Structure 1
């Protein structure tokens, strides 16, 4: 039964958010087509999305939501095993516009319907309008026939990472940004996170990656890869602005304890680049007054931390030939039971995010015991 829950919180009803490395039933994505985000009519980006979806489909069911005018094109480009569904959107960032899924010990699946304002609304947001994005969570709840919890706060999925055992990592730069929830204090936000996601311990990092246009999403800087273990975007170059951000995060993570009292083991992943937008890449994008500018020479917030953890695969971005092999070797060491698949992902980065940003895991429902 589909019901937007009223006064009861998900936690009071027994729901919580599982870790990404826990088993999934599916992965959700959206199809890129927006010409002021994706160059050359999104054709290069579409190819990158096809490769990401194909890699994840080795591991679990993949749903790709498509606007009606692109349905036939997407269906012809994507493998037959991938489920293409009509699901209108303003752009293709399923991590942020899609639902946060919750599970219950009795086998139920539910989702959180956060507010969405395109990463800042009219005060720094990346595009307008975002009306189609705003309806995606409701539509997915109806498609799956699961309960939908309405959370009256602005929050994107890329802003949080959990270990499934009571610990959440986020950044002050994003969740406490005045362009999201200006009337909420840090204590207010922590209360929302605890009551909605079932977490006890919240680790606040000050900032996300340098020049991340999402206002510092944590999933581009740091993520849980196992209970008590995180991966962190890192550079040894102390002249790079990212160095101070990563060093600051490392100091906090090394002092932190998770919800079970464990210290965190931090694995450093080398930063690609630095990477900047080339002249021909910028010239292929429609320049509109209400969209985020993408200019030649602009630095992009590239990070190998922005990978997707599937049931049997980890799909990682290939961003820099000088660093790709080193990053892949580290990720393979972190996930010895999963096959690491590298996908050329510069076209996704040109749009402002990466593989984790365009995907959203649907956790496996707990099966009732007979």
Structure 2
């Protein structure tokens, strides 16, 4: 693996859309007892279901700590590749490499990771093992890598169309705990240079009470160039209502890098998901880690789905809207198999289906 001093844009590489062809998918095994209830045992069962479902469409690699390696290897079927890798927690989309392509080769971007806000409002300390994961992924796959020691970013905070357009939230990328010494314009330049995009669309906020400072992947999802799915609510009493209205207003007036107006598909949010007393008591209370308190509202959203080569995995919450969410995505992806995964245990840990795609070098623009 070569550590590169240039940039993806200078070298002719771009970040493809998630809907483009993948070489595979990477995940991290949950176990942290101060984030996952009962030492992660319920969540491990769900992660196993997610990995098996994705493996129907593309290869899956599960990164697992030394302590959990044997357990994970026994729980996961043979088609899942299991790699021992030190980690602080299991949010691969945020800590893993961002893959960029040029039509012939794949390279990785290793952003700096600081647990969604460092010592300002980060979610745990330390985070040094997670910050090493992207580089290790590139080393394992023998991919040249761009390391950015001067720029903090998580994979869940960016959504691209693969054709020059990026969507982000101001709430996240302009947060004090990330790149506070940089102006909005300087942040844009970093993103354009490293993702090889021409147009950045900023929406104000992500999902209400999202502890990542409003990651874009929880409120919005590119499903094709010029086409996005947006989390939505009609409940005017919900604080999420104004957030969705603001996002829709901006997106409906925007044009992308190809001068297209965006097609916006609304995806209704589930009813509020609140932490129960039993769930709260199952999480270890540790100083320096965000607690899980009874009655806390979780950032539940169907928009945080995963697009595999021939399938789509969408979180389910035992909500009457679950079925409609599947139907909506089946209309969006008529040639994909849409699979619902009951995701409450993942949501309790702070997120939804969390994987990262490893792109093919010949991924074509659709």
Q: TM-score, normalised by structure 1?
A: 0.97
Equivalent pair of 1:272/1:320 in contact (CA under 8 Å): no
Runs of 4+ in 1 over 3 A off after TM superposition: none
State the 1:294 CA deviation: 0.8
**Partner of residue 21 from structure 1, selected from 9, 13, 19:** 19
1:124 is matched with: 121
Q: How does 1:55-74 map to 2 (within 5 A)?
A: 55-74=53-72
Q: Secondary structure at the match of 1:91?
A: coil
Q: Secondary structure at the match of 2:339?
A: strand
2:178 is matched with: 180
Equivalent pair of 1:223/1:305 in contact (CA under 8 Å): yes
Q: How does 1:215-294 map to 2 (within 5 A)?
A: 215-294=213-292
In structure 1, C-alpha distance between the alignment counterparts of 2:102 and 2:84, rounded to whole Å: 28
1:110 is matched with: 107
State the 1:321 CA deviation: 2.4
**Which structure 2 segments of 5+ residues have no match?**
none
In structure 2, C-alpha distance between the alignment counterparts of 1:280 and 1:299, rounded to whole Å: 15
**Partner of residue 358 from structure 2, selected from 350, 362, 369:** 362
State the aligned residue count. Answer: 362
Q: Secondary structure at the match of 1:29?
A: strand
In structure 2, C-alpha distance between the alignment counterparts of 1:48 and 1:129, rounded to whole Å: 26
2:28 is matched with: 30
In structure 2, C-alpha distance between the alignment counterparts of 1:320 and 1:274, rounded to whole Å: 12
State the 1:131 CA deviation: 1.1
In structure 1, C-alpha distance between the alignment counterparts of 2:275 and 2:361, rounded to whole Å: 42
State the 1:319 CA deviation: 1.2
Equivalent pair of 1:237/1:243 in contact (CA under 8 Å): yes
In structure 2, C-alpha distance between the alignment counterparts of 1:241 and 1:352, rounded to whole Å: 19
State the 1:188 CA deviation: 0.5
Greater shift after overlay, 257-266 or 319-328?
319-328
Q: Deviations over 1:69-117 (max 9, x none)?
A: 1001000101110000111110000000101000112x11101010010
In structure 1, C-alpha distance between the alignment counterparts of 2:138 and 2:226, rounded to whole Å: 32
Equivalent pair of 1:210/1:301 in contact (CA under 8 Å): yes
1:5 is matched with: 4
Q: Deviations over 1:109-160 (max 9, x none)?
A: 1010100100011111000001110110111111011111012200000000
In structure 2, C-alpha distance between the alignment counterparts of 1:337 and 1:159, rounded to whole Å: 28
Q: How does 1:137-152 map to 2 (within 5 A)?
A: 137-151=134-148, 152=150
State the 1:293 CA deviation: 1.0
In structure 2, C-alpha distance between the alignment counterparts of 1:28 and 1:130, rounded to whole Å: 19
Q: Secondary structure at the match of 1:141?
A: helix
In structure 2, C-alpha distance between the alignment counterparts of 1:234 and 1:22, rounded to whole Å: 25
Equivalent pair of 2:24/2:60 in contact (CA under 8 Å): yes
Q: Secondary structure at the match of 1:43?
A: helix
Equivalent pair of 1:64/1:82 in contact (CA under 8 Å): yes
1:41 is matched with: 39
In structure 1, C-alpha distance between the alignment counterparts of 2:184 and 2:66, rounded to whole Å: 41
In structure 2, C-alpha distance between the alignment counterparts of 1:4 and 1:189, rounded to whole Å: 22
Equivalent pair of 2:38/2:283 in contact (CA under 8 Å): yes
Q: TM-score, normalised by structure 2?
A: 0.98
Q: Deviations over 1:234-281 (max 9, x none)?
A: 000000000000000000000000110000011011111111101111
Equivalent pair of 1:127/1:291 in contact (CA under 8 Å): yes
In structure 2, C-alpha distance between the alignment counterparts of 1:150 and 1:77, rounded to whole Å: 34
In structure 2, C-alpha distance between the alignment counterparts of 1:9 and 1:332, rounded to whole Å: 37
State the 1:205 CA deviation: 0.4
**Which structure 1 segments of 5+ residues have no match?**
none
**What RMSD over aligned residues (CA atoms) do the two structures have, in Å?**
0.8
